Structure 1
Amino acid sequence: MTAPIPLLIVGAGGFARETAQAVHAVNDAGPAWELLGHLDDDPARHGTVVDGVPVLGPAALAAARTDARLVVCTGSPRDYASRARIVARLGLPPERYATVVHPGASVARSCSLGPGTVVLAQAVLTAAVTVGAHVAVMPHVTLTHDDVVGDFATLAAGVRLAGGVHVEPGAYLGAGALVRESRTIGAGALVGMGSVVTRDVPAGQVWAGVPARFLRPAPDPTGVPQ
């Protein structure tokens, strides 16, 4: 039997806690990961325990644990470029990053997932879906045939993409957003929760509504390393 691989989760907020529970679910099906703990840059969290998992210290500790893989699990609509900044700051090679897929997710064999990506429970990837590195795929997301999701994108709970949609790097799609087939969500764009996207969303813009329309420039459209 192969020994479990040591794993560190960068972040100790909601997404990080959900990822830890996904790791536990994977291990329930067969020991794959040795979850060492969370790393978080908030000193107030150091030495605490979150949902039974210790917070060991700042993200910089990852460099010293060369035996461990890691996933960076930060980000919110207020700062959805944080994963990209942390990964750039750590400067670790792609092979240091794990890919975590909840056993309750359905990922077709013709799909591909990049390093550092997390796919949570009840997500469905149907056929020939390409997901880049450090992507957050939250519960009940549906990605259909030939969708392409760029690095550092976030797909919040219940997002639905029709076929052939392109989500460019660093974009954020809010909970329950629906995107029509063959549309593009530009790099660093933010789509509001519950929105229905029928047109391409340009890079670096915030769109929301039914149908979705331009609201304002996005807060940080250049937060993703090129």
Structure 2
Amino acid sequence: MTRILLMTASGLARETLASIRSAGHGRDVVVGFLDDDPSLHGTLLDGVPVLGGLDVAADRPERLLICAGPGSARAAIDSRLLALGVGAERFTTHVHPTAVVGAGSQIRAGSILLAGCVLTCDVTLGRHVVLMPQTVLTHDDVLEDHVTCAAGATLGGRVHVGARTSLGMQASVRQDVRLGSDVVVGAGAVVLHDVPDGQTWAGNPAARLAGASTAALTREGTPA
């Protein structure tokens, strides 16, 4: 049995807690949350204590999952912990029992796959990737570190997704497309062409939203 601390007391952390619990007793157990909000310290969240700030992780033995919703926030926490001596070996992964992980697929430390996700075959996930329920990734997809796929996102074959990129609910990406780093794809978007770093795309077919609020699009379909 793996004892786990969830880092940040976020909506994603609560969903991850529920997912771990649904996997059944005797496997993994969440023993606490860590969050920098001092008003939460000593309280219970869904019956689990908030034990202190994020830096407490350096002094505890449990395995870790970073549950900040935005990939950029997970990346910042990852870097902060590394500076404290918390390396990749401290992180676990969580794959819900209903997720399908096909032959040849690789999942690196810290990644979270919630219910109903499908990796058909030869899919590669980087560190601290979050796949919300019903995400479908097909053959030879590559998702770099800290990518977020909201519920129902679907990628065709050989799609490459850069670090910290976020795909909204029900977004889809055509095969052989490359999304750069720090890209935001809006909910329901259909991406047919490569997207450069840092751009926001939405619509069907998706097009760049030059004046769009990235924060607003992130709220509309990615985990908190």
The answer to whether TM tops 0.5 is yes
Partner residue of 1:154? 148
Cα offsets for 1:112-136 (capped at 9, x unmatched): 1010000000001101000110000
Cα shift at 1:5: 2.0
Partner residue of 2:130? 136
* Counterparts of residues 187-202 of structure 1 (less than 5 Å): 187-202=181-196
Partner residue of 2:166? 172
Counterpart code for 2:9: A
Quick one: distance in 2 between partners of 1:9 and 1:44? 17
Q: Is 1:31 matched with 2:26? A: yes
Partner residue of 1:81? 72
Cα shift at 1:200: 0.7
* Counterparts of residues 64-103 of structure 1 (less than 5 Å): 64-65=59-60, 67-76=61-70, 80-91=71-82, 92-103=86-97
How well do the aligned residues superpose, as a CA RMSD in angstroms?
A: 1.5
Cα shift at 1:155: 0.5
Q: Is 1:48 matched with 2:43? A: yes
Q: Is 1:125 matched with 2:116? A: no
Cα offsets for 1:148-206 (capped at 9, x unmatched): 01000000110000111001111000111010001011101000011000011111111
Cα offsets for 1:79-122 (capped at 9, x unmatched): x4100000100112111000110111111132110100000000
Counterpart code for 1:87: D
3-state DSSP class of the match of 1:121?
A: coil
Partner residue of 1:7? 4
Would you identify which runs of 4 or more consecutive aligned residues in structure 1 move more than 2 Å? 216-220
Task: Give the gaps of 5 or more residues in structure 1.
Answer: 221-226
Quick one: distance in 2 between partners of 1:147 and 1:16? 26
Identity over the aligned pairs, expressed in percent?
45
Task: Give the gaps of 5 or more residues in structure 2.
Answer: 216-224
Aligned residues: 211
Cα shift at 1:25: 2.1
Cα shift at 1:219: 5.5
Quick one: distance in 2 between partners of 1:175 and 1:128? 23
Quick one: distance in 2 between partners of 1:62 and 1:192? 34
Q: 2:100 aligns with which of 106, 117, 132?
A: 106
3-state DSSP class of the match of 1:204?
A: coil
Quick one: distance in 2 between partners of 1:103 and 1:206? 33
